[in-house]
């Protein structure tokens, strides 16, 4: 894409009311726009990042048997009264409104009730199980305080997968598969090394549930972690559980701030019993379906990447989620011959399928480099009069600052051979 046509622009300063690093950098670079406290727009570059994250999530969910659906936000009270999650006394994050045709409606903050009711139509026998529907869909939550930039908002995408199993064994097997898929997702988007599968309280059905917590000073959560043993627990578990089960003592755990980037939860038969989702087992006996839920917020993941992978100059996107792989920065564009030459390189890259943002703007080199650092695209390729004369391209790797000088052939070979795209 030609940067001269991109409608967003960078800005030197973030708005004064924006305190979180992720929002500051994303706003300055033009990835997002703040509409109100807790509600952001995703602009062309920002939406590209979200779509990359979503594509990784979809791949991993499909690989473990996920089937994508899309459920509505609008909710009538009926279902939620059955599970006792309609009253504001019980759930304090509802946005509620009224139908002009009469009756209350709510805007879904989660979808356990909805998917359970839906699956009643399709599950009647053990032969129908297991099933793993999921969606990437917008949730609304009436948070009292919306802070932490795009990491805690009142409206956000969520990937929510729900598992439906006949037996505990079947459930546990999938639960582990989902945990491994989550690990792959966080590895692929570049935050795997800081992300711990953290033991959390399990509720009535299982001893533990699991949060995926990413160590980060900007986090709102606290975990207790042993980085050598690779074990983390949350505060509840630290206070209540017998840590010896986990092969660790309190003394070995260090208190750290963290971001909850995902969670997986065994729901047992809570919702299937409340809403009557039963199946007949091999002996014809009616039993409630065993359920689990598995959540990831793509925008929170994006915010976490920015918090962890940025420096004083701007964002440092990992290749897998970067809006473009290459930032082609054209200099000496006032010289028609240089400009034509640079246009040619841009078109050659596009033809080879390289995702490239081409800075063809009429601006000073210093401004272009500063913008390029702020945007954080993994490879910057500079084309100038000198390049044209010498046939060597300056290639700067954003993450390391490494500078290479490559011929046109070497340049294409480099981007073709890269396995990370």
Binding site for a second copy (CB under 8 A): 5-9, 33, 35-44, 47, 50, 65, 67-76, 92, 95-97, 99-101, 105, 107, 114, 118-119, 121-122, 128, 131, 133, 138, 140, 142-146, 154-155
Provide, rounded to whole angstroms, the least separation between the CB of residue 41 and a second copy.
5
Residue 336 Cβ vs a second copy, minimum distance, rounded to whole Å: 20
Shorter beta-carbon distance to a second copy: residue 47 or 278: 47
Nearer to a second copy, 49 or 232 (CB): 49
The tokens of 401 are what? 């600052």
Q: Cα-flanking dihedrals φ and ψ of residue 182, to 5°?
A: -65, -40
In the complex, what is the shortest distance from the CB of residue 156 to a second copy, in angstroms, rounded to a whole number? 9
Provide φ and ψ at 334, rounded to 5°.
-75, -15
19, 168, 194, 195 from 49: Cα distances, Å: 22, 37, 20, 20
Tell me how far, at minimum, the Cβ of 271 lies from a second copy, in Å.
16
- Rounded to 10 deg, the angle between the 298-308 and 44-63 helix axes is 110
E strands in 250-315: 254-268, 278-280, 286-288, 290-296, 310-311, 314-315
Q: Nearest to residue 244, comparing CAs of 255, 254, 231?
A: 231
Q: Cβ of residue 94: shortest distance to a second copy, in angstroms?
A: 9
Other C-beta atoms within 10 Å of 330: how many? Answer: 25
At residue 24, φ and ψ (nearest 5 deg) are -60, -50
3-state secondary structure of 149: helix
Residue 46 vs 314, nearer CB to a second copy: 46
Nearer to a second copy, 140 or 224 (CB): 140
Q: Return the number of the residue (333 or 411) whose C-beta is nearest a second copy.
A: 333
Min dist CB 70 to a second copy, Å, is 4
Element (H, E) at 122: none
Nearer to a second copy, 97 or 407 (CB): 97
Task: Please answer whether residues 206 and 268 qualify as being in contact, where contact means their C-beta atoms are separated by less than 8 angstroms.
Answer: yes
């Amino acid at each position: 894409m030609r940067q001269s046509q991109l409608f967003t622009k960078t800005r030197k300063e973030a708005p004064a009311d924006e305190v979180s690093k992720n929002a500051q950098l994303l706003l300055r670079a033009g990835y997002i726009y703040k509409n109100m406290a807790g509600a952001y727009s995703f602009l062309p570059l920002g939406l590209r990042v979200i779509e990359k994250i979503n594509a990784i999530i979809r791949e991993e969910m499909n690989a473990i048997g996920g089937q994508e659906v899309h459920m509505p936000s609008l909710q009538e009270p009926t279902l939620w009264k059955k599970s006792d999650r309609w009253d504001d006394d019980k759930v304090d994050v509802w946005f509620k409104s009224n139908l002009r045709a009469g009756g209350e409606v709510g805007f879904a903050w989660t979808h356990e009730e909805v998917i359970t009711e839906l699956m009643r139509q399709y599950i009647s026998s053990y032969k129908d199980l297991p099933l793993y529907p999921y969606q990437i869909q917008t949730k609304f939550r009436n948070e009292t305080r919306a802070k932490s930039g795009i990491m805690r908002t009142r409206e956000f995408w969520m990937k929510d997968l729900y598992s439906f199993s006949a037996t505990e064994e079947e459930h546990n097997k999938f639960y582990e598969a989902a945990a491994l898929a989550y690990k792959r997702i966080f590895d692929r988007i570049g935050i795997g090394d800081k992300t711990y599968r953290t033991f959390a309280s399990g509720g009535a059905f299982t001893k533990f549930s699991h949060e995926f917590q990413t160590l980060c000073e900007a986090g709102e959560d606290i975990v207790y972690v042993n980085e050598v043993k690779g074990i983390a627990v949350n505060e509840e578990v630290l206070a209540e559980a017998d840590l010896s089960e986990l092969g660790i003592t309190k003394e070995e755990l260090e208190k750290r701030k963290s971001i909850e980037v995902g969670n997986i939860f065994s729901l047992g038969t809570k919702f299937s019993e409340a809403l009557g989702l039963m199946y007949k087992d091999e002996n014809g006996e009616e039993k409630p379906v065993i359920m689990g839920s598995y959540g990831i917020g793509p925008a929170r993941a994006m915010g976490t990447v920015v918090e962890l992978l940025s420096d004083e100059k701007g964002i440092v996107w990992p290749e897998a989620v970067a809006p473009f792989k290459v930032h082609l920065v054209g200099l000496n564009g006032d010289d028609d011959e240089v400009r034509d030459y640079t246009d040619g390189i841009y078109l050659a890259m596009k033809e080879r399928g390289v995702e490239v943002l081409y800075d063809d703007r009429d601006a000073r080199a210093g401004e272009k480099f500063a913008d390029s650092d702020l945007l954080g695209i993994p490879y910057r390729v500079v084309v100038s009069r000198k390049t044209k004369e010498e046939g060597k391209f300056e290639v700067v790797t954003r993450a390391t600052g490494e500078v290479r000088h490559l011929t046109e052939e070497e340049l294409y070979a480099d981007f073709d051979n890269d396995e990370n795209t």
